[in-house]
Structure 1
Amino acid sequence: MGLAFLPLGLAFGALVTQSDLPWWWAGLSAVLVFGGSFEFLLIGMVTTAVPLAAIALSAFMVNVRHVFYALSFPLHRVHSRLGKAYSSYALCDEAYALATRERARGWSGRRVLWLQLFLHLYWTASSTAGALLGTLIPHGVTGLDFALTALFTVLALDAVRNLRGDLPTPALALLSALAARLLFPDQMLLTAFALFTAGLMARHLMTRRKPSHA
């Protein structure tokens, strides 16, 4: 899993320097933010001087899934307050996938913490290396920012496969993106997130209120 971080971290670091940000910005972001996909979005927001409130809202919308991860993540096995604080901070998709599987039920809190620490180190090291190597890439080279698009495309395809016939969900996501593009092109990401979240909540309420037939 850690090795899977390398190509994405290298792309992120290279994109940082190609966006005219200092090379150390990649490592600092990896250590403090540790948000993966959101860090790619953050590059564009920083370089275009997006207001801090918009950045905070985007971070919330992208990472709100972690609130639900915490419901089943084995944080109770970590006993120290400092360990719990770091484990909560370093919770990512990969750590959740590894620590909640069947074979991880016997893992101690120390092993969970080491898992999260090494994933954090993999991301930080690969991002920093990518930034240092990115300084050697000529400015005429383009397409590094497509790494984020490719990441989301793969995640979307995997999600659609796992829906098992639930076509309304990807359809709702597509409609939300199209509506945001047409109505608020300058704030497409936030608008699409908001529309999609509102649509999911409305569908959930409608499903709950729908009478069941025995």
Structure 2
Amino acid sequence: MKRNELKHAFKLAFPHTIPVLTGFLILGIAYGVLMSSKGYPVIYSVLMSAIAFCGSMQFVAITLLTTLFNPLEAFLLSLMVNARHLFYGISMLEKYKGFGKIKNFLIYTLCDETFSLVSSVTPPENVEKKYFYFAISFLDYSYWIIGTFLGGVLGSFITFNTTGLDFVLTALFVVLFIEQIRIKQNRVYGFLGIALGILSLILFGASNMVIPTMISVLIVLLVWRKWVCN
């Protein structure tokens, strides 16, 4: 019975993950190619994606792995790059409540794209929520690993200029953002995020704007929820 429920959940979840599928395959291939261009075999790229699974930080890690290693600098940089997951995790506590052992996997595989889907897609009535969310998380996780594997293999046989490949990560975020603001009720939050991002850019500069932007967005949304939505 459980196997049938999971199969049904994957069937219903797959159409929602198609944008992530296309983005992660391209992005994963780019990452695999970049790793290969630095001399790392396919298995290292795949293990990095399967264990670390941190998208943008994996691209940053390529530089860290190919220069003089500084553990403290790597830790602080990882913390800053992935600080946004603190906010994602907090917002998912209630949604993932009571999911049992599946919750551990959902937490481990939570990324920007999965968060975007899980927070905006309502599970169909004929499927259990935890299986539906598990299917989305597992599919997105698999797309990234498969893309990395393909990129590592291609990078072993094809040599070309890899300059600009890491921009596909930014492109994927833009596509996901556009998909979100196409929904009318999400537009005010989307443009609010843009405004606060620009303000943080002006005040803190491009290299220090991410964390101030996330904190300001959280504060504004909390105030909005308290005074406007109640």
Task: Tell me if both proteins adopt one fold, taking TM over 0.5 as the criterion.
Answer: yes
Q: What's 2:149 paired with?
A: 128
Q: What's 2:130 paired with?
A: 109
Percent identity for Structure 1 against Structure 2:
23
Q: What's 1:146 paired with?
A: 164
Q: What's 1:16 paired with?
A: 35
Q: Which has the higher contact order (CA 8 A, sep 6+)?
A: 2
Superposed CA RMSD: 3.2
C-alpha distance in structure 2 between counterparts of 1:200 and 1:97, whole Å: 15
C-alpha distance in structure 2 between counterparts of 1:3 and 1:156, whole Å: 14
* Deviations, residues 155-185 of structure 1 (Å, cap 9, x unaligned): 47959x932596463243256346xxxxxxx
Q: Is the 8 A contact 2:49 2:145 kept in 1?
A: yes
- Alignment gaps of 5+ in structure 1: 179-191, 209-214
The structure-2 alpha-carbon separation of the partners of 1:67 and 1:77, relative to structure 1 and needing over 3 Å to count, comes to same
Aligned residues: 187
Q: Is the 8 A contact 2:123 2:132 kept in 1?
A: no
Residue 67 of structure 1 pairs with residue 86 of structure 2: yes
Q: Is the 8 A contact 1:30 1:124 kept in 2?
A: yes
What are the within-5 Å matches in structure 2 for residues 51-200 of structure 1? 51-73=70-92, 74-80=95-101, 83-104=102-123, 107-138=128-159, 141-142=160-161, 144-152=162-170, 155=173, 158=177, 162-164=190-192, 167=195, 169-173=197-201, 176-177=204-205, 192-193=207-208, 197=211
The structure-2 alpha-carbon separation of the partners of 1:201 and 1:35, relative to structure 1 and needing over 3 Å to count, comes to closer
Give me the TM-score of the superposition, normalised by structure 1: 0.72
Q: Is the 8 A contact 1:87 1:113 kept in 2?
A: yes
C-alpha distance in structure 1 between counterparts of 2:205 and 2:168, whole Å: 17
* Deviations, residues 171-209 of structure 1 (Å, cap 9, x unaligned): 43256346xxxxxxxxxxxxx23x65358769979xx9x
Residue 42 of structure 1 pairs with residue 61 of structure 2: yes
Q: Is the 8 A contact 2:80 2:211 kept in 1?
A: no
Give me the TM-score of the superposition, normalised by structure 2: 0.68
- Alignment gaps of 5+ in structure 2: 1-19, 179-186, 224-230
Task: Tell me how far 1:121 sits from its aligned partner.
Answer: 1.2
The structure-2 alpha-carbon separation of the partners of 1:149 and 1:165, relative to structure 1 and needing over 3 Å to count, comes to closer
Give SS of 2:138's match: helix
Q: Is the 8 A contact 1:78 1:110 kept in 2?
A: no
Q: Is the 8 A contact 2:32 2:152 kept in 1?
A: yes
C-alpha distance in structure 1 between counterparts of 2:131 and 2:194, whole Å: 39
Q: What's 1:189 paired with?
A: none
Which deviates the most, 13-22 or 107-116?
A: 107-116
C-alpha distance in structure 2 between counterparts of 1:202 and 1:5, whole Å: 29
C-alpha distance in structure 1 between counterparts of 2:193 and 2:79, whole Å: 29
